[in-house]
């Protein structure tokens, strides 16, 4: 029963799937943060299966239109539309499934980075404000467009494996941030940092699980994707110190979005 409660708590924290949660689900999620890559694999599977189904449905639909109205002639426009629409729908599905909470963190970090001469307190204040600056919007738009382009380049038969590994890498990047990042001692982010801080054995469990899943699905390319997640996590540890003075919930969100993008880039290219 405890394993089921942990699973529900982690799914409720990382997705918008309506699950019954206890009052302590936030602390529970933080205590078992090292299992984030497993939930990431499940999210990637859902997104990949949705993308695979969508691509085949659109291929059938545009193929029918091609035969009906264009006498079955080769039409590269239909192929482009199929892949393009499937990619847009896949990214939209992922954003909706995660409740846009990671994208919101990406925007907030962009807002803070846009203020050049500001104190740590001012950056934290602008990150928590209900506004979107040009820097925040530009950063989010750039990351989402790059992610969309990379999804477009993935072959339909490989999309499930690629998205699983990309989500595993993204979640490991978040775990890496919490494992070695400094705690800000305020906000939800500090709960996760304090739960993971210097707990090397459970980080090793998270890393081993990530490598195992990724190698099983993509071999050596999976190792490259996981490594990219660790690197992105390390980068945001350094960035969090300079921008906020410690790891925040917004840093976790930005880490997830950028780590996913970098993992997909490593896999596609």
Q: What is the DSSP annotation of 105-168?
A: HHHHHHHHHT-SS--HHHHHHHHHSS---HHHHHHHHHHHHHHHHHHHHS-GGGHHHHHHHHHH
Tell me, what DSSP letter sits at residue 21? -
Contacts of 103 (CB under 8 A, 6+ apart): 95, 140, 144, 253, 257
* pLDDT score, position 99: 81
* pLDDT score, position 74: 57
* CB atoms closer than 10 angstroms to residue 89: 18
* pLDDT score, position 1: 56
154 and 55 Cβ atoms separated by less than 8 Å: no
Positions of the chain with pLDDT lower than 70, given as ranges: 1, 21-23, 70-75, 116-120, 126-130, 185-187
User: Tens digit of pLDDT for each residue in 59-90?
Assistant: 888 887 777 776 655 567 778 889 999 999 99
Distance between CA atoms of residues 159 and 3, nearest Å: 29
Q: What residue has token string 């104190």?
A: 119
35 and 6 Cβ atoms separated by less than 8 Å: yes
Helix 200-218, helix 220-243: angle, nearest 10 = 140
* pLDDT score, position 22: 65
User: Tens digit of pLDDT for each residue in 143-185?
Assistant: 999 999 999 999 999 999 999 999 999 999 999 999 998 887 6
* CB atoms closer than 10 angstroms to residue 166: 34
Distance between CA atoms of residues 187 and 9, nearest Å: 19
* pLDDT score, position 120: 67
Sketch the domain layout of the chain as residue ranges. Answer: 24-44+101-268
Q: What is the pTM of this model?
A: 0.92
């Amino acid at each position: 029963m405890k394993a089921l409660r942990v699973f529900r708590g982690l799914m409720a924290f990382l997705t918008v799937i309506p699950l019954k949660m206890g009052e302590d689900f936030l602390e529970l999620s933080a205590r078992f943060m090292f299992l984030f890559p497993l939930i990431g694999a499940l999210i990637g599977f859902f997104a990949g299966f949705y993308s695979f189904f969508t691509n085949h449905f659109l291929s059938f639909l545009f193929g029918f239109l091609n035969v009906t109205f264009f006498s079955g002639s080769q039409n590269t426009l239909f192929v482009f539309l199929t892949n393009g629409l499937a990619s847009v729908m896949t990214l939209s599905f992922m954003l909706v499934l995660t409740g846009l909470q990671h994208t919101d963190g990406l925007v907030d970090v962009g807002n803070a980075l846009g203020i050049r001469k500001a104190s740590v307190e001012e950056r934290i204040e602008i990150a928590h404000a209900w506004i979107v600056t040009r820097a925040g919007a530009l950063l989010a738009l750039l990351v989402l467009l790059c992610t969309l382009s990379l999804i477009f380049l993935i072959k339909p038969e490989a999309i499930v494996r690629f998205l699983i590994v990309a989500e595993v890498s993204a979640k490991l990047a978040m775990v890496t941030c919490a494992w070695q990042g400094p705690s800000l001692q305020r906000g939800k982010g500090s709960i996760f940092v304090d739960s993971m801080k210097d707990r090397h054995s459970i980080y090793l469990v998270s890393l081993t699980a990530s490598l195992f899943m990724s190698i099983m699905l993509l071999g050596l390319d999976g190792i490259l994707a996981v490594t990219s997640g660790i690197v992105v996590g390390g980068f945001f540890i350094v960035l969090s110190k300079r921008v906020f003075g410690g790891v925040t919930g917004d840093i976790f969100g930005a880490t997830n979005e950028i780590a996913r993008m970098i993992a997909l880039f490593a896999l596609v290219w």
